[in-house]
Every structure is written in structure tokens, then in C-alpha cells.
Chains A and B, each alone.
Chain A
Amino acid sequence: MAKMNLLQAINNALILAMTENEKVMVFGEDVGHFGGVFRATSNLQEKFGKARCFNTPLTEQGIMGFANGLASQGSVPVAEIQFGDYIFPAFDQIVNETAKWRYRSGGQFSVGTLTIRTPYGGGIAGGLYHSQSPEAYFAHTPGLKIVVPRNPYQAKGLLLASIRDDNPVLFMEPKRLYRASVGEVPEEDYELPLGKADIVREGSDISLLAWGAQMEIMEKAAELADKAGISCEIIDLRSILPWDVETVCQSVVKTGRLLISHEAPQTGGFASEIAATVQERCFLNLESPIARVCGLDTPYPLAHEKEYMPDHLKVFEAIKRTVNY
């Protein structure tokens, strides 16, 4: 075990993956000698050479197109998009190409070795274009997997599993926690399963569901709820697509109440998908409407960031409303 922050855990996972398999290649804007604008790829070029860790020209559609070609050839690309906000120029390559590659060729060709890493989320005074959480756009895309870790231990285990998974994975890193989240991380190789939620804490009155940086908010809200005599079960979804319906529904059957929270805007956010599915499956167990605590349906603002964010106070109020329904 070693103390690592989230960036160090990611860097550590990349080193293990590149050491284990010489086909693993890391590329994107500024990831080379400089080591990335967040330093997630520090020292990779020094360790593995410029051919395996390199800068690309500044073109997101180019990075993803290149990554698709490289993956279909049999290499194992780990492509970085500098901010999730800038993934949209690559939307066509990801949605029309990456996600459909295996299906459209009848399984002859695949880009299953591909992993896309991108920092996401707010709370860093990033304004409109350094704060977005674009997971719901991609959750509407059959063929992709979407994974979001909440701390360094999760980040390393989930990233190693993503790189080795035989499906393209969009790996979204909560950048607010890059340096803020520090924890014990095994130095050896390990994987955490994709598609499986993680029950962070058991409770009996309400299930709280979130992912990534929002997990911290849920824990803070649950502490307030504790003091108010409300017992919260906290679930980290970890994988947005495919998501772990079983764990979530089991929890809701037990508690009878569900609150889902994410930073992204509410309308069309992934909470809608979860709420609809849980409502279908747990109709007779639900004792109150499913609550959503999300970002507003506005672009992500700078000066009003604090007001925009679905913080622990907003979550706490929603917990009380739901339990007292």
C-alpha cells in the first residue's frame, strides 16, 4: 500500500499497463514529455519512449479517429481528451465509429482495446468549458462502456480493468479530486469490475445513488441525515453504461426510497434513465417519488458555481423531503 492522490493512482495504472503490454500507447494533447496538463502521464515518455507516449496535434476528432484506427489494428490505445468539455469535436468518431465498429462489421473488426480518458466535472472555477459532465450524451450510445471512479483506489482498479476490457471504454476522471482525494492504493496490479456498483455504506431509510466526485457530496449529506435520525444507504454506481440495475434495485427494495444526484444538468441526465428503470422494477416498493438532485438546466456558470452545484445541503433537503413524503 502507498498513499496516492487520484492522479498518482492513474499514473501508476498507466505504468503497469504499459509495462505489461508493449501494445499499450498513450497519446493526446501535451501528454508527452510535459506529462499532461494535470500530470497524469508524467514520466511515461521517459520510461516507454516517444513512440508509445506522444503528443498529438491539437485536434480531438483527429485523436479519436487515430485511436480508432490504432485499436482496430490490434494496438491498445489509451487516448486522452484534455477536458471532457472538448470531447464534442470527437463525438462523431466516438458515437458513429468507435461504438459501432464491431456491430457494423459483424464482429470482423473491433476497437475493443480502446480506452478514452478525460477529466470531467466542476467545482474548480472552470466556467462553461472546464466543468462539464458529458456522460449522459454517451450513455445514449450502444457499444460504449462508461466508467467513473470516485477515489484513487477505484481509479487505479477501474482504469486497469478498462484498458484490458475488450470494449471501448470512456473513462471519466473527476478532476476536482485529482489532488484533493488521497488514499491508500495497493502498489501491485489489481482490477475492479466494470458494470458493478459499489455499496459504500449500508442504511435502511433511503438509497442515495451517485458517481465520481458527487460521492463525496453524498457522504457529507448522509452525515447531516444521520444527525437528523435518517439512515442512508450510499451507492457508487461506478459504471454508467452498462449500469448495475440489480444492486440499485435491491437497495431500493430494502429502503423504499431513492435519491439520485449528478453534477450534469437534470433534463436528459442519466438520473432520468435510472429513475425510470427503478420505477418500472420497484413500483410496489417505492414509498415516495424518486428524487433527482442535479445541476440546473443551464450552461455551467462561473460566478454562480456554488449555487449551481448539487451540493450536500441541496441533497440533505431532498433526503428530508423524500423521507417525510
Chain B
Amino acid sequence: MKDRNHLSDVSLTHKVSVIDKGLVDIPMLQILQPDGTPHADAQLPELDQDAVLKIYRTMRFIRVLDERMVAAQRQGRISFYLASTGEEAASVASAAALEPQDMIMSQYREQGALAYRGYSTEAFMNQMFSNEKDPNKGRQMPIHYGDKALNFMTISSPLGTQIPQASGYAYGQKMAGQPAVTICYFGEGAASEGDFHAGLNMAAVLHCPVIFFCRNNGYAISTPAEEQFAGDGIASRGLGYGIKTIRVDGNDAFAVYAATKQAREIALAENCPVLIEAMSYRLAAHSTSDDPTGYRSKDEEARWQAKDPIQRLGNWLLSKGWLDEEQDGKDVEQMRQDVLNELKRVEKVPVCAIDDIIEDVYDTPPWHLKEQLDELKQHISQYPDAYPKTSGRL
């Protein structure tokens, strides 16, 4: 049996030595300045015009979708919505740096990654309207997307639970010999959950090819980051777990892309986790159930609006001559029209038949679920007017 020496890497000191967080500097990678001008010494990622335009247009689409669906929730057409305004670069540009076989496990504010993978407007709508075409069969709240074909794991509400799950998923990919990694998104608030600690430690110890991608947007609902942690953000924790770590400007699509690209290469080549902390700002309300005017100032929001990730990449595209401002305006108008048309069409699709209520609890419904369904159907048929969504299709 091998002898262990857990002191082997420890150096000696002969005075009390206090290590302060100020001693370790974790800089933030920024390639484009807020106005879209590249830093002189920054290296632009190798992306051709089509590739950058795909990132840009996906961000644009998500902004349009978010605006439209927040309005739809206000009108009472859907029960809930959660926008990603201001954070589009974090999800879209990171997804752009992945391969289609990589698994995405997200928190809930990463609709950009799903759109980048090709999730259609109709598919977004089906989920949000909980109709019979929703892959979740109408069981989960709006924005809890999932798509097996796109390698996008179905979202769940409990925060941070996907973090150790991503470690396990990545371990399975490694064992199956797949040239693939798992990316796991979460906010800085979720990083306070025990599952963050569990997931990162396990990934490091068990050599899992997983990218932990933290969106540090300054707030967890009303709780500002300074009431969430006292250390140097989330990035500083990665080092404590022995995890390679990068901090990026989350509003700079090029920085997010470059960091994720490199993280993927490291994770795959070295079978190890990489932590990315993307610094951003949640310009949106937490959700349609939240009003941020109760806990932050308009001035603060305005300062961050000036750092808008879409504007920033748009300015760079304009400077390259890769984007026509007038055409861009028309494109956005068309996106708005398409989203609205799809919304009007999809909101008329009925919900699943009542039989679906007991499916997928198990692989096949056991006796007690079948009995409960039979009783329920009998009850609905007795009071059809009280259950209009399902009584016509018993």
C-alpha cells in the first residue's frame, strides 16, 4: 500500500502568516471595450463573419423573445416568465464555444444557449404555454426547457442541484469514451448552496471534464452579491478546490467565447473541471414575480445599460462592415413579428389529455396511479364544466 503524505506540498514559515484575499489577484478577461473597440493587446477569437453574426443574431433574438414574453405574462397569457436581459452574451457566446455533443445543464437564465443550439420559436412557445406539444407534457413552469436531441438537460427549479449532477454526467461521458464535456451554468446566488461545494469538489477529485460557468450578475432576487459572499467572488473558490479558473467580462461575447473555448480544451485534454466566472449584471427583474425598484437604483441600472453586451458586439460588427444598421433594424422587426405570430398560433394548442398526469412517474404506472386516474376521470366526467381543459377528451 502506498504511503500518504498530505504535508508534502506545504512550505514552512516561522512567523504567523495570514493570507488575505488581496494577495491573490484574479483579473477579468476583456477583449472588447464597452463601446465595442477591441483592446490593443487583446487577441480576437478566430471567428468568421457568419460565426459572429450567429452569436449576435441569437442574442438579438433572445432579447426580442424576452421582451415579448414578459409582456405576454403581464397580459396573463402565460403564468410566469424569466428574462435574461443584459446576460445574453454569457449564455450565447459560451454555447458557441461548445460542440453539439457537449451536454448543457443550466439553471434557468440561459435560454440563449438553447437558442444557439437551434431550439425553435415554436418549441420555446410550446413549453411556455404548457401545451400538448411541450416536451415536458405541460408539467413544469414556463422556462423549464429541455431537449434531448440538442443535449440540453431539462431544467429544474431547485437551485444548484445541477452542479454535482454535471460532475456525474461528465464522469459518464469520460467513461463512455465520448469526446464531449458537460457545461453547467448557475448564478452567484446558487453558488452559496451546498451542492456547489459538493459538485466542484467531486469534479476535481474524480477528474470530470466539466465546465462550471457562473453568471455573477450582482443579485440573487433582491440579495446583492455583498450579502451573498465576502470572498473575491466565485472565481477565488475554484482555486481552493484545485480547479483551473478563469474570470471573464460576461458582457463581452468575445471574452466569454475565448474563455469557454479554452476551458473546453483543457477539460477534454486533461479530464478535469474548469471554473469560469462571468461578471455581468441582471438588467431584467429576477422574474415576472419580482419588481427590482424595491432594492436597486435606476442610476445603477443605467450604468449597466451602457455596458449592454448586444450593443457592444453590434458596434464591433458595424466597425468591421459586417453589419448594416438599417438591415439590422428590419431583422429585429421581423423577429418581433415572427415571435408574435408564433405566440398567437401556439396559445391555441390544447393541453395534454388527463391520462398524461400519471405517465412518466415510473416507466409504467403502478396499480395505485391507475386507480387514482380512474377515480379522477370519473370525477371529471361528473363535473365536466369544472374541468374544461380535459373534460372534453376523457
Instruction: With CB as the reference atom, state the residue of chain A lying closest to B368.
Output: A242
Q: Does A109 contact B (CB under 8 A)?
A: yes
Smallest distance from the beta carbon of B190 to chain A beta carbons, Å? 13
- Interface flags for A80-109 (1: CB within 8 Å of B; 0: not) read 000000000100110011001111111111
B360's contact among A52, A106, A246, by CB below 8 Å, is which? A106
A69's contact among B146, B167, B176, by CB below 8 Å, is which? B167
Q: How many residues of B contact A (CB 8 A)?
A: 49
- Interface flags for B205-220 (1: CB within 8 Å of A; 0: not) read 1100000000000000
Smallest distance from the beta carbon of A322 to chain B beta carbons, Å? 26
Number of inter-chain CB pairs below 8 Å: 160
Q: Does A25 contact B (CB under 8 A)?
A: yes
B201's contact among A57, A64, A77, A101, by CB below 8 Å, is which? A57
Instruction: With CB as the reference atom, state the residue of chain A lying closest to B153.
Output: A109
Q: Does B197 contact A (CB under 8 A)?
A: yes
Inter-subunit contact A66/B156 (CB<8 Å) = no
Q: Which B residues are in CB contact (< 8 Å) with A73?
A: 103, 168-169, 171-173, 176
Q: Does B144 contact A (CB under 8 A)?
A: yes
Inter-subunit contact A69/B172 (CB<8 Å) = yes
Q: Does A323 contact B (CB under 8 A)?
A: no
Instruction: With CB as the reference atom, state the residue of chain B lying closest to A104.
Output: B140
Instruction: With CB as the reference atom, state the residue of chain B lying closest to A89.
Output: B194
B139's contact among A65, A96, A103, by CB below 8 Å, is which? A103
Q: Which A residues are in CB contact (< 8 Å) with B15?
A: none
Task: With A57-B201, A59-B201, A97-B161 as known contacts, state yes or no: A167 contacts B137, CB within 8 Å.
Answer: no
Task: With A72-B153, A102-B361, A107-B360 as known contacts, state yes or no: A97 contacts B158, CB within 8 Å.
Answer: yes
Sorting the interface of chain A by its residue count into under 10, 10 to 19, 20 to 34 or 35 or more gives: 35 or more
Q: Does A181 contact B (CB under 8 A)?
A: no
Q: Which B residues are in CB contact (< 8 Å) with A213?
A: none
Inter-subunit contact B146/A105 (CB<8 Å) = yes
- Interface flags for A108-143 (1: CB within 8 Å of B; 0: not) read 111010000000000000000000000000000011
Q: Does A245 contact B (CB under 8 A)?
A: yes
Task: With A108-B148, A143-B361 as known contacts, state yes or no: A57 contacts B205, CB within 8 Å.
Answer: yes
Q: Which of A176-209 contact B (CB under 8 A)?
A: 195
Q: Which A residues are in CB contact (< 8 Å) with B363?
A: 102, 110, 112, 166-167
Q: Does B385 contact A (CB under 8 A)?
A: no
Measured in the bound complex, the distance between the Cα atoms of B367 and A195 in whole Å is: 10
- Interface flags for B192-203 (1: CB within 8 Å of A; 0: not) read 001101110110
Inter-subunit contact B367/A245 (CB<8 Å) = yes
Q: Does B135 contact A (CB under 8 A)?
A: yes
Measured in the bound complex, the distance between the Cα atoms of B194 and A108 in whole Å is: 27
Residues of A within 8 A of B (CB): 23, 25, 51-52, 54, 56-57, 59, 61-62, 64-75, 77, 89, 92-93, 96-97, 100-110, 112, 142-143, 145, 166-167, 195, 242, 245-246
A25-B175, A103-B361, A107-B360 known; 16 new pairs, CB 8 Å cut-off, are A59-B201, A66-B168, A66-B199, A69-B164, A70-B168, A73-B171, A73-B172, A75-B172, A93-B164, A103-B360, A104-B144, A104-B156, A105-B135, A106-B135, A106-B136, A106-B360
A-B contact pairs, 30 of them (CB 8 A): A57-B201, A57-B202, A59-B198, A61-B194, A61-B198, A62-B197, A62-B201, A66-B171, A69-B164, A71-B168, A73-B103, A73-B169, A73-B171, A75-B175, A96-B156, A97-B161, A100-B156, A103-B361, A104-B139, A104-B144, A106-B136, A106-B137, A106-B360, A108-B135, A108-B136, A108-B148, A166-B363, A167-B363, A242-B368, A246-B367
